[in-house]
A and B are shown apart, each in its own frame.
Chain A
Amino acid sequence: MSAPVLDIRALRIALDGRADMELVKGLDLTIQPGETMCLVGESGSGKSISALAVMGLLPKVLQVTGGEMHLLGEPIHKASVQRLRKLRTTAMSMIFQEPMTALNPVARVGRQIDEVLEAHSKLGPRARKRQVLEMMEAVHLPEVERIYRSYPHQLSGGQRQRIMIAMALIMRPQLLIADEPTTALDVTTQAQILSLIRELREKQGTAVLFITHDMGVVADIADNVTVLKLGEVMEAQPTEQLLRHPRTDYTRELLQAVPSHVPRPPRADSAAPVVLRTEKLNKVYVEGGWLSKGRETHAAKDVTLSLCKGRTLGIVGESGSGKSTVARCIMRLIDPSSGVIEIGGTDIATLPPRELKPHRRKFQIVFQDPMRSLNPRIEVGESIIEGPLNFGTPRKKALERARELMTLVGLPASAVDRFPHQFSGGQRQRIAIARALAMDPEVLVADEAVSALDVSVQAQVLRLMADLQEKLGLGILFITHDLGVAAQICDDVIVMQRGLVVEYGPAGQVLSTPQHPYTKALIEAAPGRHWDFAHFRPFPESREDA
C-alpha cells in the first residue's frame, strides 16, 4: 500500500500554549489515498482546530504543543510558513461551512478560481480559463460561462459551495479538508453536495477529511470515522463497524441521540380545545417605491392551521419556505398582510399594540440561537421575570416563580442571578424556555429551537419540551428544517415550500407515506435515513419500499 496522504500522530493543541488549556489532547489519524475520513464530534471537541492545524491556519492564540503531522510523507509540523503556503491548494485544500463569507463578494467567481491557478501554475490566461471552466463543469455547475462571470450574491448557497469546491480542487490536491461544508445548506442541496464530494473522490482519487457533527452525513459519506470528545479520541473505526458496534458509551449515546426518521407512535386523538388557529394567513412583501408598482413576494400564502391544547404541530420546510414567517406573524413580531390568527378564541391578527398586550401572555416564543436570545447584560432571572412584571406580578413573587421554573427546566434555582455567558448553549435554551413559561402561555412557538444545539443536548431539550407539554398542557408550534426532529416530537406536520402549504396531516402519515413530490424529495434527501442509529443497524429493506 502506498504512503498515507495524511498521518497525524499525538497532535496536541493548547490555548496560549498552556498545558492546562489543552483543546486537542493527542489526536491520531491516518488517511489513505482516496479515503474519506470523518472527524465527528460535538462543539468543543476540537475537530475544526485540528483541521486548521493541518492547514497551518491556526489563530495566533492557539499553538501546536506536541505531536507530528505528515502530509504525503512530508513533516508539515516543521514546515516553514512559505512551504505551507505552497502546500495549501497544491497538496491540500480546505472548504468551509459558510460559502457566502468564504468568497470575496466583490469579485467574479470565475476570476476567484482563476486566481488560485495564476498563483500556483505557469499557464497562460487562455489555458487557465479553459481549465477553470472544466473544473466548474466537473462540479456540475450549469451554464459555466455565465456563472464564471457571476458574483457570489447572484448564486445560490449550493452553487457557491460548488465554486468553493472547484477552487479547492483546481490544483488537484491529494487532500481535501471539508469543515462542515453542508451544515449551512438545505437538505436537498446538502444531498447534492455530498454526492459531488463522493464522485470527485472517486474520479480524482482525492482523500477527504470530512468534519461534521451529523451522524446522518457520516453514514452517507464516510469510509472511516474518528470520534472526538473534548479533544480526546473516543474511538476510530470503519463506518459500518462503528454504526453497528460502537465501542464506547459516548459513541453509543451520540448515536442514540440522533432523531430517527421513523415517526413516533401517534397519540390518541384528543377532544382538547383548539388553542391556536389561523385561516388564510398571508404575508406579502412589496419591494419598490412610491411611484413604481412594486414586486410582490408571497412569504406565506393562505396558511390555514389549527393546534389543540397539549398537542404539537410541526412546520417543516427548507430556507425560504415561509415557516418562520408564519411563526413571526402568529407572534405578531411582524404584521400579517391578511387572514385570521385566533388565539384562545380571539382574532389577534389586526389588534393594535395596546389591545394586543393583554393577549401576549397566551403565546410565547423560543428562538433558534441560544447565544442571542438572552440579553447578555442582565441576569437570567431578570430576563425571566420581565414578562410577568409587565403584567403586574409583584417582583418578589415573580422571582420566586423564576426559581421554580429554573428547577422545572432542569437548572439549579440559585442560577437566576448568573449572566447568560456563564451557561452553555443547551442551558441557555432551557432558560429561554423558562422565560416563555413564566407567562403561563397556552401556545409555545419554537422557531428552530433545537437546531443550533449539539445532538445530545438537542435530545435533552426535546425531552424537556415533551415533559413540559405533558405537565402543563401546552400547545406547541414547532418550526424545524429537520425531519427527524419533526418525526420525534410532532403529532401533526405541515410541509411548506415557497410560502405554500404543500402537505398537512398526521406526522405518521406525512412522513411515512408522503403524497406531495416535494415532501418525498425532502425525505429522500435526509442524510443517513437508511440507518436506524438508535438500534445500531440499517432499516430493514422492506421499510424503504413502503
Chain B
Amino acid sequence: MTETTIPIARGGRPSAWRKVGEVLVSSPLVMLAALVLAVIVLASLLAPWIVPHDPGRLSPGLRLRPPDATYWLGTDAFGRDLFSRIVMGGRISLAVGIGAAIVAVAAGLILGLLAGYVRWLDAVLMRFVDGLMAIPNILLAIAIVALWGAGLMTVLIAITIPEIPRVVRLVRSVVLSAREEPYVEAAIAAGSSSWLIMRRHLLPNTVAPLIVQGTYICASAILVEAILSFLGAGINPETPSWGNIMAEGRLFFQINPGIILWPGLVVSVTILSINLLGDAVRDALDPRMAKRGIER
C-alpha cells in the first residue's frame, strides 16, 4: 500500500544524566568544581566525627591564638577551634542552601504550572509574585526573621520565600511556550484533563531549566544565610554557620583576620563551584545556550 521498507532509526537518546556526565568530563574546570564541592559536602556530612576539636568548647585561656599545629587555623574570641567551627558550619550553610533550593523549586513549580496553564489564575498569581519580586531579598528575609524570631526553620523560610517568584516566572514562561505546542493541543483534542496535560506534557519541559535554577538558588541561599548571620539576623550565634563565624570575627579582624577570611574563602569557593556546575548542567541540557560557532 505504501512504503515497502520502513527504516526506523535505532538507539535511544542519550539520557540527561549521561549528557551531564559528558560535560563534566570534557572540562577540567568543571571537574575541579565538582571535586571541591564533593569534598565540602562530604566534610560537612561527616563533620561531627572528623573535627579535631569540639567546635562549641569555650577555652578562655586560648583566645585568638594564631594558627599552629594543634589549632590549624587558630582560635576565635572564645578560644574555640576555628577549623572545627568552619567544618561544622558547613552543615548549616549547606542545609540552608539545599533546603532552600528544594523548597523554592517545588513551590515555584506548582505555582508556575498553575499560572501558566490556568489562565484566570495567572493574572492574580503573577501580580502577587511581581509584588514579592519588588521587595529586596535580604530586606524581606530580615523582616520575616524579625517577625518570627531566629532559628534554622525561620531562616530557611526567610531565604526561600524571596526565591520563589523567580522560579514561578521561569516555570510559567516554559509552560506558556509549551502549551502552544501541537502535541499539547492534540492532548486537549483527545479530551485529556488539565491535570493530565500539566503532569504529562508540560511538567517534563520544566525539569532541565529547574535543575539549573536550583543550583543558582542553592548558591544564593548560602550567601544570603551568611549575610543574615553576619548582620545578626540569622541563626543564633552558638550554632556555627559560615556567616556566624564571620560575624563574630568582625571585632577581632585586626588581631586575627583569619576568622573572617577563612570562612569567607570557603563560602566563595563553594558558591563558585555550585555556579560552575550549574552552568555545565545548563550547557548539557540546553545545547542552544552552549557555545556554538561558524568557522570564519
Seen from chain A, the residues whose Cβ lies within 8 Å of a Cβ on chain B are: 56-60, 81, 84-85, 331, 333, 357, 360-361, 363-365, 367-369, 372-375, 377-378, 383, 386-387, 390-391, 410-412, 415, 418-419, 421-423, 427, 432, 435, 439, 460, 463-464, 467
Contacts and interface: CB of A to CB of B under 8 A. Distances in A.
Nearest to A430: B2
Given A58-B295, A422-B11, 16 more contacts: A57-B296, A58-B294, A81-B295, A84-B296, A333-B189, A365-B186, A368-B182, A375-B200, A386-B200, A387-B190, A390-B191, A410-B6, A415-B8, A418-B8, A419-B13, A460-B2
A81 B191 contact: no
B1 interface: yes
B181 interface: yes
Contacts of B8: 411-412, 415, 418, 422-423, 427
Contact of A373 (B1, B183, B296): B183
Contacts of A467: 1
Contacts of B296: 56-57, 81, 84-85
A60 B182 contact: no
Given A375-B200, A375-B201, A463-B2, A367 B182 contact: yes
B293 A331 contact: no
B15 to A, nearest CB: 12
Contacts of A378: 200
A156 B13 CA distance: 40
Q: Which of B183, B201, B292 has the most CB of A within 10 A?
A: B183
A373 B186 contact: yes
Given A56-B296, A58-B295, A369 B13 contact: no
Nearest to B192: A390
13 contacts: A56-B296, A60-B294, A331-B185, A331-B189, A360-B191, A363-B189, A375-B201, A378-B200, A390-B193, A419-B12, A421-B13, A463-B2, A467-B1
A377 B181 CA distance: 13
Contacts of A390: 190-193, 196
Interface string B174-189: 0000000111011111
Contacts of A377: 204
A367 B185 contact: yes
A157 B204 CA distance: 35
Interface in B198-226: 200-201, 204
Contacts of A391: 191
B25 interface: no
Contacts of A386: 187, 190, 192, 200
A365 B185 contact: yes
Nearest to B11: A422
B294 A367 contact: no
Nearest to A420: B183
Interface in B269-296: 292-296
A525 B187 CA distance: 37
B280 to A, nearest CB: 20
B10 interface: yes
A262 to B, nearest CB: 24
B124 interface: no
B190 A367 contact: no
B191 A361 contact: yes
B295 A360 contact: no
A432 B190 CA distance: 12
Contacts of B183: 372-375, 383
B186 A422 contact: no
Nearest to A88: B296
Given A56-B296, A390-B191, A410-B6, A333 B201 contact: no
A391 B193 CA distance: 11
B9 interface: yes
A375 to B, nearest CB: 4
Contacts of A464: 1-2
B6 A387 contact: no
Contacts of B187: 375, 386
A151 B50 CA distance: 66
Contacts of A57: 294, 296
Contacts of A85: 296
Contacts of B196: 390
Contacts of B292: 59-60
Contacts of B182: 367-369, 372-373
Contact of A427 (B6, B190, B192): B6
B196 to A, nearest CB: 8
Contacts of A427: 6, 8
A38 B255 CA distance: 81
Nearest to B188: A333
Contacts of A81: 295-296
A82 to B, nearest CB: 10
Nearest to B187: A386
Contacts of A360: 189-191
B238 interface: no
B68 interface: no
> Sorted from nearest, which 5 A-B pairs have the closest CB atoms?
A387-B190, A410-B2, A367-B182, A373-B182, A360-B191
Nearest to A334: B185
Nearest to B197: A386
Nearest to B296: A81
Contacts of B186: 365, 367, 373, 383, 432, 435
Contact of A357 (B6, B10, B191): B191
B18 to A, nearest CB: 15
Q: Which of B181, B182, B190 has the most CB of A within 10 A?
A: B190
Contact of B190 (A369, A412, A418, A439): A439
Contacts of B189: 331, 333, 360, 363-365, 387
A319 to B, nearest CB: 17
A415 B189 CA distance: 24
A410 B190 contact: no
Contacts of A383: 183, 186
Contacts of A435: 186, 190
A387 B191 contact: yes
Contacts of B294: 57-60
A154 B54 CA distance: 72
